Structure 1
């Protein structure tokens, strides 16, 4: 199922993890996860992104079996209750396969299909793929990240991964690009990416922006804690859409949808 859109879509975040930075531990069983997903849908989410392994800075890795046990029952249950696209946030080929078989139609990979077998698996599953840029590993990626030019360096990475995807048989219309706010970037890098986000449009692919509640928002707001970052997150999502984002990945779905509806009304006046 290819996700096409003529206006920005809101991807609601559903973490079935004990340690995600914003909502870890809130959805550790299927019933809680489904209730949370239905709230996101009621608020207007266009896509539900389900993750079973935290990718926050310093996060510990999760075994393939544990990740499958966390996400697959939720995807199976949710896919019987909605036709809204379900995304699987994973870098592991076997998790990708079982998630798609359970009902997912998008692979959202912070590792851009670089794990052994991930590229071939994604190609065989014939679903949309989101390729995210990340410098370094979660355990070390915020230790002095450096770039020559952050936009040009990310573009070069994307061009390499796009070529690899196409050689593996993934069609261009199935590819989405995410510059990876907060993944091996300083605050200055993140701000520059958001300011120059429209430069990625030249690559010719759909773009995803994920800024919701991240540490960059906290830093902008004078070291605000996670629970106080909603307005900053929504504002950043709107800036990203104005600069070319096709999908915004968010925790605060209703507030983001309201802001997007307002933006669309003004732009259409």
Structure 2
């Protein structure tokens, strides 16, 4: 299977020959993972450039925490946080995604050089979002979303989490397409951790093929999330802090890449950049391996004989 065609190509973005790595720059004081570390514009731009140097293919810039219980920042503050960082990174040639639920922020970020809009509400939080994205001709990430998380993990009840998430994402994608966003510019995201418990997130990761069957490139954003802490803690132990979940994140990145994800979104880039490249190398090895002969003799890889000789 050709890697690009298998993962899907997003019009308006580079065509990577493997699962892409989206690095995260949170320009916030209260992100669950790294709040406050990159709050200054200059520091945030430098961090984004460092992520690219570590192997990020694109950088996702956000100015509003979406952790459970977070209160929303006002529009002016989100613009103040996000737009200068987008402009600074884009001026350095970085492929920038803007992580926002506000159409005004998306519009100004696109004007400042952003190439992609990543809206965790899939356009539901702001009715103006889809018209703005459609008018700009920008790629758009449609995430599975059941509402704001103030007050806890709201509406996280599922009889069949995979079926319900796939169905709800399908309906949302249809609405986005009807709003004028081109089909080849739509990316889907299962929304791990959003109105979902650990068992829901794991079930979705186990069935990424069902999400890919929606027919759009797939973004997996598992980085440092609570379900990884639950897995690492085991049945009795306390979950490790968010920054101690990077090895687990890289493991999910490798699994997602193997399952055909278009991109993974991560805070710590280097380990995931290595993981997706290993997954790609294994994929290439599978493609060159011959099947055993009809007489049961071992196959070869097309370049070496059975004993490894040319």
How does the TM-score come out when normalised to structure 2? 0.84
Stretches of structure 1 lacking an aligned partner (at least 5 in a row): none
> 1:178-257 alignment to 2 at 5 Å?
178-222=189-233, 223-257=239-273
Name 2:186's counterpart in structure 1.
Answer: 175
Name 1:35's counterpart in structure 2.
Answer: 46
Structure 1 residue 135 and structure 2 residue 146: aligned?
A: yes
Query: How far 1:144 sits from its partner (Å)?
Result: 6.2
Query: How far 1:79 sits from its partner (Å)?
Result: 1.2
Name 2:108's counterpart in structure 1.
Answer: 98
Q: Separation in 1 of the partners of 2:73 and 2:279? A: 39
Cα deviation 1:115-171 (Å, max 9, x = unaligned)? 221111111111100011122312145146111211111111122122112211111
Q: Decide which structure has the larger Cα Rg and report it.
A: 2
Name 1:164's counterpart in structure 2.
Answer: 175
Q: Separation in 1 of the partners of 2:229 and 2:179? A: 39
Query: Conserved in 2, the CA contact under 8 Å of 1:135 and 1:185?
Result: no
Query: Conserved in 2, the CA contact under 8 Å of 1:135 and 1:141?
Result: no
Cα deviation 1:202-243 (Å, max 9, x = unaligned)? 111000000011111111110111121111111011112222
Higher deviation after alignment, 73-82 or 137-146: 137-146
Q: Separation in 2 of the partners of 1:226 and 1:168? A: 37
Query: Conserved in 2, the CA contact under 8 Å of 1:106 and 1:128?
Result: yes
Query: Conserved in 1, the CA contact under 8 Å of 2:131 and 2:179?
Result: yes
Stretches of structure 2 lacking an aligned partner (at least 5 in a row): 1-10, 234-238, 286-310
Q: Separation in 1 of the partners of 2:133 and 2:154? A: 31
Pairwise CA RMSD: 1.3
Structure 1 residue 68 and structure 2 residue 79: aligned?
A: yes
Matched position secondary structure for 2:188: strand
Cα deviation 1:231-259 (Å, max 9, x = unaligned)? 11110111122222110000111111111
Structure 1 residue 8 and structure 2 residue 5: aligned?
A: no
Matched position secondary structure for 2:222: coil
Query: How far 1:14 sits from its partner (Å)?
Result: 0.3
Query: How far 1:6 sits from its partner (Å)?
Result: 3.6
Q: Separation in 2 of the partners of 1:240 and 1:125? A: 30
